[in-house]
Structure 1
């Protein structure tokens, strides 16, 4: 029965084996850290594992639907948020509301406090409360300390952290979680997963990726990441993409490109664009210097340096590198 539970989790045999064993023997840790790249099945693995916890190990269509729709009374799903008009909103809500997203979302102290209270309460229907925390690496120091306190007194709930950057978590947080590693998929497995998706997004990703090999390289073995890269790639004006494939040659061109990037793109789009452009430049030039300059630009944007100034300096420096 348990093997049926994880039937749609492709390309993760080791993670599946560990989770199956925990359910079979009913030896559940109070906290798990599902680590690995985005888009390789961490979220799906968490959903199927929680389904097994609720049902005693077997699949159940009703519980699966409730978990996937996030309307189970004993499930709390926490993700990074933006602060907008006195309330916290998710990335999807921010996109729908047109909220300025020039800085990345964060997991906030009040969210971690809510998480602790949820785990401490008596569950309504299930043997234990279930909490999923996405991107715990996006916590500030106060939130991280509050999470550590919760992990020291876990109660009877089950906490699953989904992290693509576990090395950015406090060592004391990692040590209190059982780590389940999810790995990148080989190309053949990626294509299989994308082709089997019921949504058109998988087929679109395959079509675009065939013409844009940089997106495949950027995905690095993650079907979900490839779908997301294709989505974001489609939001970048084609004119900007073409101008970056042929970097500016004069200071005036560099200043104009910096202006257009900052006027036309949100902060998260700019951060994505840097990663994509690094891949393009590396494939074109096999030169580490431009890649390192763009790494510096990313850090500046994340450190709240004025975006247009940061882009201007970087683009002008790239011109000097090309002419030297």
Structure 2
């Protein structure tokens, strides 16, 4: 059975994992590295199914533990999915894989597997481990027992070198356009193809997940902001620039303001003359840096929109 048939555009990863299965020589730990949304978690799930020889979602398998970052709310840990399902507010602080979760992992591995030849653990977004969790995981990796762990992260540099050295690296890459569209035709709703633009594809940078996220964010932002990069070909009247800056800073949180800057960059790059295009992109990058430095967003947008018309 071809366990990896759902995986598209990742021949290197599939070949390495298939080779390990065929030789029955599984590493104690794997590190799946590459951009978000290119199939790392899907491949991990297929790999677990192949090890267990079970074609199911494995959500209730006693020998499988799937960990993802959590938020702490009133002493209880919640995943983002759990908070949304309970209609609870998402905390402002970013989620983490926490020491309590690594202790849960250790308890899971301390018990002999019930149905499988080995215990299996997946840590998504492993780069979000705090220091205590990372140190605890390192001790587990030194003596994993009858287990295979899969860590999913964007790059080896996102983790402690001592953790990376104990894992076999499995690389994942951005998809080419043909593979990208093949994946999206499987998962995207019909209205996606009516609304998606070249700029949104470019924002995805070869990641189907990122393209879908870009499209969903594009639908959520006000219509007046969606084509802003294309509209900045002539200077804006001062009052218009100030009102637009006010509307952007009041309507969008900072995360979506960063996203809007990225969309504007793609739109300008696709439609501008080269010398002016470079100057505009430099202004947008400077605005991004100011937002990262916690400069007041409204001021950042006022300066940006007034300057863009003079480039």
Alignment of structure 1 residues 157-236 onto 2, 5 Å: 157-195=147-185, 197=186, 199=187, 201-209=188-196, 212-236=197-221
Partner of 1:60: none
Higher gyration radius (CA): 2
Residues paired across the two proteins, number: 301
Question: Does the CA-based 8 Å contact 2:65-2:120 persist in structure 1?
Answer: yes
CA distance in 2 between counterparts of 1:259 and 1:98 reads 29
TM-score (normalizing by structure 2) = 0.84
Deviations 1:161-195 (A, max 9, x none): 11124322222221111011111111112122222
- The alpha-carbon distance between structure 1 residues 246 and 116, as it changes in their structure 2 partners (threshold 3 A), is farther
Change (3 A) 1:47 1:230: same
Is it true that 1:80 corresponds to 2:76 in the alignment?
Answer: no
**3-state DSSP class of the match of 1:73?**
coil
Contact 1:81 1:107 in 2 (8 A): yes
SS at match of 1:65: coil
* Cα distance in 1 between the residues matched to 2:243 and 2:172: 42
Cα distance between partner residues in 1 of 2:109 and 2:212? 33
1:310 Cα deviation (Å)? 3.3
Task: Specify which of 104, 111, 124 is matched with residue 101 of structure 2.
Answer: 111
Do 1:278 and 1:290's aligned partners in 2 also have CA atoms closer than 8 Å? Answer: no
Q: Which residue does the alignment assign to 2:222? A: 237
- CA shift, 1:79, in A, is 1.1
Out of 20, 23, 41, the position equivalent to 1:22 is 20
Question: Closer, same or farther in 2 for the Cα pair 1:252/1:312, shift >3 Å?
Answer: farther
Contact 2:236 2:306 in 1 (8 A): no
1:42 counterpart = 2:32? no
Q: Alignment partner of 1:34: what SS? A: strand
CA offsets per residue over residues 127-169 of structure 1, 9 Å max, x none?
1111111111122222222222222222221111111243222
**Structure 1 residues not aligned, in runs of 5+:** 56-62
Farther off after superposition, 4-13 or 268-277:
268-277
TM-score w.r.t. the length of structure 1 is 0.81
Say what the alpha-carbon RMSD is for the aligned residues: 2.7
SS in 1 for 2:49: helix
Alignment partners' CA distance in 2, 1:112 and 1:258:
44
What is the deviation of 1:43? 1.2
CA distance in 1, matches of 2:119, 2:210: 30
